């Protein structure tokens, strides 16, 4: 038998140990450690219509077949019904277990026990339900203790890693918290953070399923459950719990408590970030108004680092071609991910036409396409097709002029009639554009650069692109296939398409 039960279910061996004078193992000895779901009394020759599986059947053997073949059929029916075992009450009908029944049980692998003469079946049933009650009580105390530990972790000085650790200990496994992209943020044990990459495909599928979905799947010989972490109904990350099957009954409760506390902590952090953004916006507003002395004084009073003399301006818009608090928040999150050194060294604000930030010019410049790509999925619907421009290093006094210029460029790019409508790159194109197009430029058998430019300019319409190039559409298909092979990805991938198009535009090739 391979049936398993929940942790709250007493086993046959446990019951025998609990009522040793009322239940004596006969075949095999000792009794196996099979979980019991109930104790059922029946004298029917076929009690299976009244069984759900996992029961210990108590019978006096009143209608028990006498012959071997009859006993085999009787036992086989019980095995097919997934019974945990038979307990034969001695005295009224049989003074010892019939040999035919012993042989049938031994052959079928069905445990056979006896209830000694003058011992009522009630002693067995009472022992079973007392064991069930004690086990439920034990599990309740275990669940409350796990909840207490997780709540205590949430009130510690560093709540997120503490909650992840407490949860891992509660489920007797490991837990990992990842961001919306699947990158590990916290893990317990710490060395399990490297395994987060193995969860990425399921997290990708869960991301498209919605905020109220969860995923369950095997990982080697372990069970994995992944839940989204919600902050004000927005997904801010995913919590993966990995443990050996079967999952403990207390695990689900502990997971739900941890999810609620992690969500609350995410809301608290968002609120703190919102307050911080307001402070930085106040400083940025003075910079944009060329009130640098007032801005420096306000920054000191608010505990915000004032920008140095040489800075860069970064602007971003959402899919609707406009700015907004969500776009600014998504831009800042993406900047912290791509350039951690900029994480607390920016001031910025949002205007109707674009969100913008100012970062130190001496630090490594952010990459526009990377920021735009990393803004996807950060919770703001308007950032699904975000566009970002990164300005050159300039004087802080010129921030208003540069900001207005970059915002105007993004406004021009947002027109559907303009080929540059796809996510934008940096103003002064870095070497990434040349590096990206180099495989196409080195190909001398055909003009792959021109073919890709025409294909993207006409948004994948073969007829229009082939007419522009004055080639047959099959020739164009062959060139595009060759270009995709050299680029190592399909031009149907929007991330690749945007970068290739921007590289062509910045290089004057489109």
Question: In angstroms, how far is CA 99 from the centroid of its own chain?
Answer: 57
Average pLDDT, the chain: 83
DSSP states of 193-235: GGGHHHHHHHHHHHHHH-TT--EEEEETTEEEEEEEEEETTEE
Is 297 in a helix, a strand, or coil?
Answer: helix
Strands 234-243 and 355-360 turn out to be unpaired
- The residue with tokens 């430019």 is 453
Structure confidence at residue 509 (pLDDT): 59
Structure confidence at residue 426 (pLDDT): 40
Q: Residue 53's closest CA among 85, 14, 81, 21?
A: 81
Residue 366: Cβ-neighbour burial (10 angstroms; 0-12, 13-18, 19+): buried
Other CB atoms within 10 A of residue 75 CB? 24
3-state secondary structure 480-509: HHHHHHHHCCCCCCHHHHHHHHHHHHHCCC
pTM of the model: 0.49
Report the C-alpha gap between 215 and 435 in whole angstroms: 39
Task: Measure the CA angle with vertex 459, ends 453 and 464; round to 5°.
Answer: 80
- With a cut of 70, say whether residue 4 has pLDDT above it: no
Is 77 in a helix, a strand, or coil?
Answer: helix
Q: What is the CA radius of gyration of the chain?
A: 35
Q: What's the CA dihedral at 291, 297, 302, 304 to 10 degrees?
A: 70
Q: Count of residues for the chain?
A: 510
Q: Residue 409's closest CA among 317, 497, 325, 496?
A: 317
Structure confidence at residue 382 (pLDDT): 39
Residues in CB range of 478: below 8 A, 6 or more apart? none
Q: Which domains does the chain have, with CATH numbers?
A: 12-130 (3.40.1390.20), 155-269 (3.30.450.30), 307-421 (3.30.70), 431-506 (1.10.10.2840)
- With a cut of 50, say whether residue 132 has pLDDT above it: yes
3-state secondary structure 123-191: HHHHHHHHHHHHHHHHHHHHHHHHHHHHHHHHCCCCHHHHHHHHHHHHCCCEEEEECCCCCEEEEECHH
Q: How far apart are the first and last CA of the chain?
A: 70
Structure confidence at residue 427 (pLDDT): 43
493: Cα within 13 Å, side-chain hemisphere:
10
Report the C-alpha gap between 333 and 374 in whole angstroms: 9
Burial code (b: 16+ CB inside 10 Å, e: under 16) for 382-419 equals bbebbbbbbbeebebeebeebbbebbebbeebbeeeeb
Strands 55-59 and 112-115 turn out to be unpaired
Report the C-alpha gap between 16 and 32 in whole angstroms: 10
- The residue with tokens 């020739």 is 475
Structure confidence at residue 122 (pLDDT): 94
Is 403 in a helix, a strand, or coil?
Answer: helix
Q: What is the pLDDT of residues 285-325, one digit of tens each?
A: 999 988 999 999 999 999 999 999 999 999 998 877 778 88
Q: How large is the average pLDDT for residues 145-166?
A: 87
Helix (H) or strand (E) holding 26: strand 24-27
Query: pLDDT-derived band of residue 129, with 50, 70 and 90 as boundaries?
Result: very high
- Give the tokens for residue 401: 């002029």
Task: Measure the CA angle with vertex 215, ends 194 and 3; round to 5°.
Answer: 100
**Choice between 226 and 425, residue whose per-residue pLDDT is larger:** 226
Structure confidence at residue 422 (pLDDT): 35
Distances (CA, A) of 448 to 15, 77, 474, 494, 508: 77, 72, 14, 19, 15
Q: What is the pLDDT of residues 445-489, one digit of tens each?
A: 777 877 888 888 888 889 888 887 778 888 899 999 999 888 888
Task: Measure the CA angle with vertex 325, ends 320 and 329; round to 5°.
Answer: 105
Question: In angstroms, how far is CA 203 from the centroid of its own chain?
Answer: 4
- Give the tokens for residue 182: 């699947």
- With a cut of 60, say whether residue 495 has pLDDT above it: yes
- Give the tokens for residue 451: 């073919």
**With contact defined as beta carbons under 8 Å apart, do 314 and 391 qualify?**
yes
Residue 206: Cβ-neighbour burial (10 angstroms; 0-12, 13-18, 19+): buried
- With a cut of 50, say whether residue 403 has pLDDT above it: yes
- The residue with tokens 């005295």 is 91
Query: pLDDT-derived band of residue 444, with 50, 70 and 90 as boundaries?
Result: low
Q: What is the pLDDT of residues 208-250, one digit of tens each?
A: 776 677 878 888 888 888 888 888 778 888 898 888 776 666 6
Query: pLDDT-derived band of residue 201, with 50, 70 and 90 as boundaries?
Result: confident
Which has the minimum average pLDDT: 245-249, 384-388, 406-410? 245-249
**With contact defined as beta carbons under 8 Å apart, do 113 and 86 qualify?**
yes
């Amino acid at each position: 038998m391979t049936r398993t039960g929940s942790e709250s279910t007493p086993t046959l061996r446990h019951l025998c140990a609990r009522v040793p004078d009322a239940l004596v193992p006969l075949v095999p000895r000792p009794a196996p450690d099979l979980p019991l779901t109930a104790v059922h009394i029946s004298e029917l020759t076929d009690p299976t219509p009244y069984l759900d599986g996992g029961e210990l059947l108590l019978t006096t053997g009143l209608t028990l077949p006498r012959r071997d073949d009859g006993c085999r059929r009787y036992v086989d029916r019980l095995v097919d019904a997934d019974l945990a075992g038979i307990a034969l009450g001695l005295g009224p009908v049989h003074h010892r277990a019939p040999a035919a029944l012993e042989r049938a049980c031994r052959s079928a692998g069905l445990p056979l026990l006896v209830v000694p003469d003058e011992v009522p079946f009630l002693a067995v049933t009472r022992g079973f339900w007392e064991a069930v009650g004690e086990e439920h009580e034990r599990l309740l105390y275990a669940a409350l203790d796990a909840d207490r530990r997780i709540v205590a972790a949430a009130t510690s000085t560093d709540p997120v890693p503490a909650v992840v650790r407490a949860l891992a200990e509660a489920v007797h496994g490991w837990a990992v918290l990842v961001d919306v992209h699947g990158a590990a943020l916290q893990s317990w044990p710490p060395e399990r953070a490297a395994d987060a990459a193995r969860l990425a495909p399921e997290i990708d599928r869960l991301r498209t399923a919605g905020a109220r979905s969860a995923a369950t799947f095997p990982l080697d010989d372990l069970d994995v459950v992944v839940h989204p972490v919600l902050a004000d109904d927005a997904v801010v990350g995913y919590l993966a719990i990995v443990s050996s099957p079967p999952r403990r009954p207390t695990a689900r409760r502990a997971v739900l408590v941890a999810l609620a506390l992690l969500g609350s902590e995410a809301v608290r952090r968002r609120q703190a970030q919102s307050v911080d953004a307001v402070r930085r916006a106040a400083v940025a507003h003075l910079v944009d108004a060329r009130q640098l002395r007032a801005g420096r004084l306000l920054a000191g009073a608010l505990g915000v680092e004032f920008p140095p003399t040489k800075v860069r301006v970064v602007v971003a818009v959402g899919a609707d071609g406009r700015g907004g608090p969500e776009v600014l928040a998504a831009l800042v999150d993406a900047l912290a991910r791509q350039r951690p050194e900029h994480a607390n060294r920016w001031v910025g604000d949002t205007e109707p036409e674009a969100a913008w930030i100012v970062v130190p010019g001496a630090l490594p410049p952010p990459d526009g396409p990377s920021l735009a790509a990393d803004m996807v999925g950060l919770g703001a619907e308007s950032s699904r097709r975000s566009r970002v421009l990164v300005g050159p290093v300039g004087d802080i006094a010129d921030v208003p002029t540069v900001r207005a210029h970059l915002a105007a460029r993004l406004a021009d790019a947002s027109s559907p009639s303009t080929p540059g409508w796809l996510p934008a790159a940096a103003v002064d194109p870095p070497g990434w554009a040349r590096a990206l197009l180099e495989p196409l430029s080195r190909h001398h058998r055909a003009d792959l650069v021109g073919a890709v430019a025409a294909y993207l300019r006409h948004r994948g319409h073969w007829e229009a692109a082939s007419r522009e190039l004055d080639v047959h559409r099959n020739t164009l298909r062959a060139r595009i296939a060759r270009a995709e092979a050299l680029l190592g990805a399909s031009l149907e991938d929007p991330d690749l398409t945007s970068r290739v198009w921007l590289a062509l535009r910045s290089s004057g090739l489109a």
